Amino acid sequence: MTTNLWKTMSEQKGILVVAMVAAASAWTLHCSPVRDGFDVAKDEPPPVNSFVDASAEAGDDGGADRLAPLVDCADENKLIYVLSQKGNELFRFDPVSLVFTSIGRLVCPTSGNTFSMAVDRRGTAWIEYDDGRIFKVSTKDASCEATAYRPGQHGFLTFGMGFAKDDADGGAPLSETLYLAGDALGRLDLSTFDVSVVGTSSPGFGELTGTGAGTLYAFVQTGNRIVRLDKVTGGIVETYRPDADIGAGWAFAQWGGDFWLFTGTHNGRTTVTRYSPATDTSTVMIEDTGMLVVGAGSSTCAPTEPPR
């Protein structure tokens, strides 16, 4: 998913921890919990609180996780993954508990900054940096591996990314395609790292997210719109208008049939909003995460209906 980076807007000494207020279920929440947030020291990771869990930091059993075989649609790969600006830290986000769990910091061999992210069905995050290079990152321990991707193919310099399951795959578990959103809609073949163009133009697509049902969505920067795309032509099929201010940074992902928007509107830190297209309603789920989220991605394993 596309990311844009900005400098952190506040550096203060104190850490204010505010307890999270939630209803019995995030899906029956009618009044949004308001969190005043906390300040982050200059060179410190986000503090631990009721919605940031650092227990997975720095590789507990990291070696074992790295050697374990990748599994299609493991439970943790049904959640949302996000990148924070400070320290390029990778988190796993649970939309039910509203908890971010730290996975680790990215140390990819590049001087660039993270720009976009997509997550496949086997738990690999494909992350583009603003120098145009793409890296494979483990969602188990944030370890990074370079790829053979060649930047600039067909004019794709920096772009949003998202996987969508293929329509006629006969039920094959791994049949999905990585789509790119730049000046046009494109596909990236991960076996050759070649780009092919799907649509010849796009109205400011900045983000992509796809589903296991085969649908592909884009976030359009102009007018704060979410649109469903035709994967063959790149044309717009449906349009939704969530009530969320982009602010300093933004990212989005599909989960449970809703769109989860991460927008940097609170003192340079991110607000989390759930937009439900079925009811055309936007609900602020976390007022202030205490960090600036600059990328988000959910795999095609993520549920497309609310949990029951």
Q: Which of 159-173, 217-231, 242-256, 285-299 has the lowest mean pLDDT?
A: 159-173
Measured from the Cβ of residue 24, the count of other Cβ atoms closer than 10 Å reads: 7
What pLDDT sits at residue 9? Answer: 33
pLDDT grade, residue 125 (50/70/90)?
Answer: very high
Greater model confidence, 8 or 97: 97
Q: What whole-number percentage of the chain has pLDDT above 90?
A: 60
Q: In this predicted model, what pLDDT tens digit does every residue of 165-187 receive, in sequence order?
A: 998 655 555 689 999 998 889 99
How far is Cα 241 from Cα 257, in angstroms, rounded to an integer?
A: 15
3-class DSSP string for 51-83: CEECCCCCCCCHHHHHHCCCCCCCHHHHCEEEE
Position 244 scores a pLDDT of: 85
Average pLDDT estimate for 115-143: 96
- Using 50, 70 and 90 to split pLDDT, how confident is the model at 52? low
Is the pLDDT reported for residue 275 higher than 90? yes
Rg, Å, the chain Cα set: 18
What is the pTM assigned to this prediction?
0.78
Of residues 88 and 1, the one with the higher pLDDT is 88
Give the per-residue pLDDT at 304: 95
CB burial string 220-256: b at 16+ within 10 A, e below = beeebbbbbbebeebebeeebebebeebbbbbbbbbb
CB 208 within 8 A of CB 218: yes
Residues 6+ apart with CB under 8 A from 113: 5, 88, 129, 130
Residues 6-46 have pLDDT tens digits of: 333 333 333 333 233 333 333 322 223 333 333 333 334 44
**pLDDT value for 39:** 35
Domain boundaries, the chain: 26-298
Fold that domain 26-298 belongs to in CATH: Neuraminidase (2.120.10)
Give me the mean pLDDT over the 94-115 stretch.
95
Local confidence band at 266 (pLDDT 50, 70, 90 cut-offs): low
Dist. CA 167–CA 50, nearest whole Å: 40
Mean pLDDT of 144-172: 88
